[in-house]
Amino acid sequence: MVKNSSPSKRKSIPEPTIARLPRYLRSFAQFSQSNQLVISSKELAAVSDINPAQVRKDLAYFGQFGQRGVGYDVKTLDEKMRGILGLNKSWRLALIGAGHLGTALLQYGGFAKAGFKVEAAFDVDPSKVGWELEGVKIWGTPAIRQVVREKKIEIGVIAVPASQAQRVADDLVDAGIRAILNFAPCALSVPKSVLVRGVDLASELEHLTYFLEKSSKSDKTKNSG
């Protein structure tokens, strides 16, 4: 047992902190746009909508960048967090499903800006195959395994109906994909070595209804009190 055998074995960062890093990165972009090079944890907290104590705790994982009374250097923090998230390189994506959602994802400016490049799109509809969508060639779904391997694609984005999602996921896994972003409203069964993140659009709404329900209850309490 050798401790600290590799430089990459630093203090591991907890999952909830990792999940907040993209929000910090968005905030840094805003500070940079307004030419603010140094920020306080309080400012970062306000823009990121995260409480200040949590921000200080999160930033502590990135070493001693903060100087009391001076603040944090935006560029250093930004580079450090990008490094942790693997964003100082570009990533090769495949999009499965070239319907409305797939098209919206291709048009979505945020991906390219963040270093994500869609290398191929796939669809079951033969009338779409062979065409290009936002400069990306559309293949038939039977080609997934071959094209994903040939183009060395690293991440699969699933934007097909729930009924087709598992089959598509199986093909991606067979082709060696280890990370999947799933927009289909269903759970996927994949080997443990593959990470799936599901974007559940309804569950985002359910979080809002909790807030509405809670505040309407507190209004009623106030009115009746």
Q: Are 45 and 10 in contact (CB under 8 A)?
A: no
Query: Scanning the structure block, which residue is given the tokens 């990792």?
Result: 18
Closest distance of CB 37 from its own copies, Å: 20
Measured CA to CA, the distance from residue 55 to residue 63 in angstroms comes to 13
Stretch that binds its own copies, among 60-68, 113-121, 140-148, 166-174 (CB under 8 A): 113-121
Q: Which is nearer to its own copies, 42 or 214 (CB)?
A: 214
**Rounded to the nearest 10 degrees, what angle do helices 15-33 and 52-60 cross at?**
100
Q: What is the DSSP letter of 71?
A: B
62 binds its own copies (CB under 8 A): no
Within 13 Å, how many C-alpha atoms sit on residue 52's CB side? 6
Residue 197: Cβ-neighbour burial (10 angstroms; 0-12, 13-18, 19+): exposed
Extended strands (E) in 31-84:
38-39, 72-73
- Are 93 and 157 spatial neighbours (Cβ–Cβ below 8 Å)? yes
Residue 124 engages its own copies in binding (rule: CB under 8 A)? no
Stretch that binds its own copies, among 36-44, 65-73, 91-99, 135-143 (CB under 8 A): 91-99
**Residue in 43, 73, 170, 200 binding its own copies, rule: CB under 8 A:** 200
CB of 109 to its own copies, least distance (A): 7
Residue 84 within binding range of its own copies, rule CB under 8 A: yes
User: With respect to its own copies, which residue has the nearer C-beta, 12 or 64?
Assistant: 12
Q: How many residues bind its own copies (CB under 8 A)?
A: 68
Q: Which residues bind its own copies (CB under 8 A)?
A: 5-6, 8-9, 16, 18-19, 21-23, 25-26, 30, 47, 84-87, 91, 93, 99-101, 103-105, 107-111, 113-114, 116, 154-155, 157, 162, 178-181, 185, 187, 193, 195, 197, 199-215, 217-218, 221, 225
